[in-house]
């Protein structure tokens, strides 16, 4: 019962934060929250959509997307991997690590003896074989900190719940 308790707490937290951001708690959002709060997976929008659809046959996939981006903007969920429009390739065969700018998507390699020596815990071996381990550091790159314009592909990804007149929690 630990799991569902945990889920309940998580759900409560999501609702609180969303409410405090001045965003309306609609049925569909509530259902999506519930689904999210109870998963231990890393679902994609489609998966959540299908799950929610079982209880609420009329939701639209679009709403699921919108809700997820909103939650991401509030810091309640993260997106895995790079915020990806297209696949990026890496030709660097040397052991290295990545710095990813969460705003513009730029990726820089860096090396570090310390990090190369990092010790993957035994427990991971139960999950599967370990081929490769690397560190991913996220932040806002120097360039984005100076200029205030994402240099690449402004495809509604970073920021923006896509709400021209919507939500706007006026995040200070």
Partner DNA sequence: TTCCTAGTTGCGGATAATTCGCAACTAGAC
Partner DNA sequence: GTCTAGTTGCGAATTATCCGCAACTAGGAA
Residues lying near its own copies in the complex (CB under 8 A): 10, 36-37, 39, 41-46, 48, 68, 72, 76-91, 93, 98-99, 101-102, 107-108, 110, 112, 114-115, 118-121, 123-124, 126-145
The CA distance from 111 to 114, in Å, is 9
CB-nearer residue toward DNA: 27 or 95: 27
Name the binder of 140 from DNA, its own copies, none, CB < 5-8 A by kind.
its own copies
CA distances from 152 to 26, 71, 91, 117, 156 (A): 34, 23, 21, 34, 11
What is the pattern of x (binds DNA, CB under 7 A) and - over residues 27-66?
A: xxx--------------xxx---------x-xxxxxx-xx
Residue with tokens 């970073």: 158
CA distances from 127 to 64, 118, 121 (A): 30, 18, 11
Binding segment for DNA (CB under 7 A), chosen from 112-120, 128-136, 139-147, 160-168, is 160-168
Name the binder of 11 from its own copies, DNA, none, CB < 5-8 A by kind.
none
Residue 142 has phi, psi (to 5 degrees) of -50, -45
């Amino acid at each position: 019962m630990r799991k569902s308790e945990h889920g309940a707490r998580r759900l409560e937290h999501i609702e609180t934060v969303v409410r405090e951001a001045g965003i309306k708690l609609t049925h569909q959002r509530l259902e999506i929250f519930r689904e999210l709060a109870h998963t231990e997976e890393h679902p994609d929008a489609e998966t959540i959509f299908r799950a929610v659809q079982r209880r609420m046959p009329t939701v639209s996939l679009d709403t699921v997307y919108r809700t997820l981006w909103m939650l991401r903007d509030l810091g309640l969920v993260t997106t895995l991997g790079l915020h990806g429009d297209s696949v990026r390739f890496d030709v660097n065969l040397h052991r290295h690590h990545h710095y990813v700018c969460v705003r513009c998507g730029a990726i820089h390699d860096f090396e570090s003896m310390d990090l190369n020596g990092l010790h993957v815990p035994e427990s991971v071996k139960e999950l599967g074989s370990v081929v490769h381990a690397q560190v991913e550091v996220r932040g806002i790159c120097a360039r984005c900190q100076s200029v205030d314009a994402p240099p690449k592909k402004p495809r509604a990804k970073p920021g923006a719940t896509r709400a021209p007149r919507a939500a706007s929690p006026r995040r200070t």
